[in-house]
Amino acid sequence: MRAHYGQPRQPAMIDPKRVLRALAEHWSLLDPLCERFDSGTLSLVELRAQLAAQRGTADAAEITALLDQWIRLDILVPVAKSPNRFELNAQIHDFLAYLRREHRLGLCLEIEAYLRHLERLAGHIQEAFAQRDSQDLARQLRLLDMRVRDVLKKLANDEQALVAVAERAKTSDRQIPLRQRYAEVLATWDEYVEPMIQLVAADGAFEQGVRRAEQVLLHLLGEQQRLGQLVDDDLLLRTHARILDMQTTAQLTLRRARELLLPLREEARRHNA
C-alpha cells in the first residue's frame, strides 16, 4: 500500500526489525541524507533529486517506492503545516548520528550551519506560540533540543580529534616526517582554531545563535505565566539549560584547542624559520 504524501496517517505499530532492515539496506543512501537533514528539512522535489543523483537513476517509480517505504516506517516524517517537506524521525537521526560518529575534525562551518538552524527553529517556536499551537510548539522545542545535542556531540568529537592531532605532532614515530606533523598542526590552527575564535567571539555567530534561542525561551516562560501553559515549563527550562551548556562547552573546546596546539604551532614556526 502506497503512502500518500502530505496526508495524515493513523498511528500504527511499526516492526522494529523492518526499520533496522531498511536502515541497513539503504545505509549508502541515508548516510549522505543525514548530513543534508542536519541543515534543515527537504522538500519532496529535493529528496527525489538527491536520491536520483545518489542512485544514478532517474527511475521515478523506483524512487517513489523507496520514499513510500521510508514514510511507512516513519524513517521520514512530514513537517507539521508543511506536509510536502520532510525531516528524519528524531530518533532515527540520533541513531544514524551515533553510527556515523568518528573522531574527524570538521569545519567550523558545520557548527555555524547548526547555529543558523537553531535561529530558524527559534523563529518557528515563536510562531507556534503566537498561534497557540501546543503540538507544533512541543515539536519545535524537541527539534531545537536535538540540534543543541548535535552541536554538543560535534564539539566533543572535535576535542578528541584535536587531541589526536597533538599526539601525532609529538609522536617519536620516525615514519611520520617532522615536516608532515608540523604541517597538520598549522593547517588545524588555520582551518579550525582561528575560525572557531571568530565563531565564539562576543559578536560571532555562536553567541548570536545562543542569544536568539535564549531570548525566545525566556520570553515564552514569561508569556506562559501570563497567558497559561501550552507546554510544560520544565521542557523550556531543560532546553534553556542545554543551550547554556552548549555555550560553555564551545568556550572550553576552544580553550582546549589553544592549550593543545598553540605551543606546537610556535614550535612549528621556529622549525620553519
> What does the alpha-carbon distance between residue 146 and residue 87 come to, in Å, rounded to a whole number?
13
pTM value surpassing 0.85:
no
Instruction: List pLDDT tens digits, range 187-207.
Output: 889 988 999 999 898 888 888
Report whether pLDDT(135) > 70. yes
**CA-CA distance, 105 to 96, in Å (whole number)?**
18
Task: Compute the distance between CA of residue 26 and CA of residue 75 in angstroms, rounded to an integer.
Answer: 11
Measured CA to CA, the distance from residue 181 to residue 135 in angstroms comes to 53
Percent of the chain with pLDDT over 90: 18
Report the chain's mean pLDDT, rounded to a whole number: 82
Between these two residues, 4 and 112, which has the higher pLDDT value? Answer: 112
- 81: left (phi > 0), else alpha (psi -120 to 50), else beta? left
Q: What is the pLDDT of residue 70?
A: 92
What's the burial of 158, exposed, middle or buried (CB within 10 Å: 0-12/13-18/19+)? buried
Burial class (CB in 10 A: 0-12, 13-18, 19+), 5: middle
Sign for the CA dihedral angle at 152, 156, 158, 159 comes to positive
Confidence of residue 177 (pLDDT cuts 50, 70, 90): low
pLDDT digits (tens, 9 = 90+) for 88-130: 887 787 777 666 654 456 667 778 888 888 888 899 999 988 8
pLDDT of residue 180: 72
